[in-house]
Structure 1
Amino acid sequence: MIYLDYQATTPLCPEAREAMLRWLGGPDSDAFGNPHSPHRMGRMAAAAVETARERVAALLPGSGTLVFTSGATEAINTVILGIPGDIITFATEHAAVLDCARAVEAQGRRFTILPVTPDGRADITALEAAITPQTGLVAVMAINNEIGVHHPLAAVVALARKAGARVLVDAVQAYGKVPVEVAADYIAISAHKCHGPKGIGALWIAADAPQPAVLIHGGGQEAGLRSGTLSPMLCAGFGAAAQAAQDGLSDQMLHVERLWSAAREAFSDWELNGSAADRWHGNLNIRRMGAGGGVDVARLMSDCRQIMFSAGSACASGSGRPSHVLKAIGLSDAEAKSSIRLGFGRYTTLQDIETAAALLGAAAREQDL
């Protein structure tokens, strides 16, 4: 099996697995305490949670508060639904952002979706024209999950600051892979996209940013913002993954650059979707239009079952609709439906890239016959 779907999820790293096993607990263990209990076992669990919090926050900029959540979707929803004012975002954002529109509008607020440029980057001219004193929040990705494109975050932040608006950055695809240095008010991240466990993410709130309104009520855990008993096991796994990412960040970035160069050469007869320059090189979104039309991606997946790759976002797979991201950058339905996404990272080898290219290329050419 060749795994090339790193945007959907990443393999659990050994460091995270080891940290999690300690906190699985059992009747003969002292590591199953509730981290919100005052006794010794509770304090042990709470200490593990706080160590993890420090490790996760260490990869984020400046001073602020890190709140553990069930994932980035919860973090994003918390900010969008909990900060007053109108919302502005972009057409290529994740469904966790775009699908908040109805809920925001039900609150009597405006939810504006702006276009992106043909290379997939946020249209700054459109943002400058749309932002008003009533805008409370601009939501923008650091790296797009489908095409890997970097948004011009500094320009977005500058315009938001000028208008008095706050900025939420979805850093899910950036965290643990590249330095996250944007001066945002809120940053949403997810553990399983950086070799941590599924089921946990975090919301980082800058020290000078207002806390969103409470979305989940209960015991008042997590700075009073997010109630519910934390899982020391998931927190410890997230923390260990963050520490491993921090320790190996430079090496991992060099490794991904080598994989990118090999992949671009191996798939040279496919067309790249999105900017070639302003993108994360662990994401290769490409399309192939043959003599008989575009490649049939469903057939390609069936013919190459040993290769794990995607036709778009894992969250929207199986819908039958062309990718909203690819449509937003101007691709036709046929072009969008003839596109595949290959994601690679820490545990991908050059041999994986070469083998996948040979198999996918042969299967695609077979369709032209």
Structure 2
Amino acid sequence: MKPRIAIDAMGGDEGVRVMLGGAAEARHRHERFTFLLVGDEKQIKAGLDNHPNLRAASEILHTEEVVKGEDKPSQALRKSKNSSMGLAIQAVKSGDCSAAVSAGNTGALMAMAKLALRTMPGIDRPALAALLPTLEDTDMVMLDLGANTECDARNLVQFAIMGAVYSQIIFGFERPRTGLLNIGTEESKGTEALRDAAAALRAATHLPMHFQGFTEADKISRGDVDVVVTDGFSGNIALKALEGTARFVTDLLKRSFQSSLRSKIGFLISRPATELLKHHLDPNNHNGAVFLGLNGVVVKSHGSASIKGVANAVEVAARLVEDNITQRIGDVLKDFDTSAIASNGVAASGSGSQGSDGFPK
């Protein structure tokens, strides 16, 4: 299947310029990609003058209505039939496109995608998954990052299955090492939902993962696990803490190197190492969060992503389409009935990231 991707050209901090630039860069890397560019036709046509390779592989779907960053999901849903975000998702639902990419409001994107595409059989709630850097050669998958503020054991097991399949596709791992985020590694630690989910995953040895039990937050970036599973409340906090720490370290290094002439000389000597650190921590190199569990592929780009970041998000969307992630998750669920998993009585809530894009600005 040649990926045809719907681009919400109006989303994100810079809108058309960055979204078209990212699509053009992805098209330059992969000539098989084609696009439906959704948004203001006049702006899009002007932007395509700078990207003839993208123009030759794209169609334009005109709309002037845009979901704003401050719109609540309920407000955005009222725009779903005519907004650039809503029309991009509708293109996936109709089968005109195989995936949608938007840098707009995460809460709105989640609400629209869930309403239009619905959750796939065997999945109670979709989860937001992203790639995060580690000390190892590959990134890791973490979910949920803000779509569901409260989760029961069944939700967590479903997230683990989806995250493992995602890791298989992106990194080629046969049985990704998977852990549940907890306050300790002992089996007695954590909430009832966590303990019940861990028991179910330990017993289900046929699942496409190597379940490693509980993992603590300070081990997330070490690369000891390939998939970290948690509820959206804890996941969003952990994500922002990680990104905040990364900015703290880079800002502290910058301040230290500017403190004296000797420090400036030291910076010049160590510049190759600091550039490597900067590259490793650059969120654009890990851009493209995915709503897993829907009947279709929807990818969320960071709102302030660069052209390179948007291109990476487009490539993630195409990879998931080509490797048929929805069917692969469904195949695993056919052999594993999560409805039998004990519930702790906590009902999973709706989007926990209303008005937020799930990432620090």
TM-score (norm 2): 0.27
Greater share of helix:
2
TM-score (norm 1): 0.26
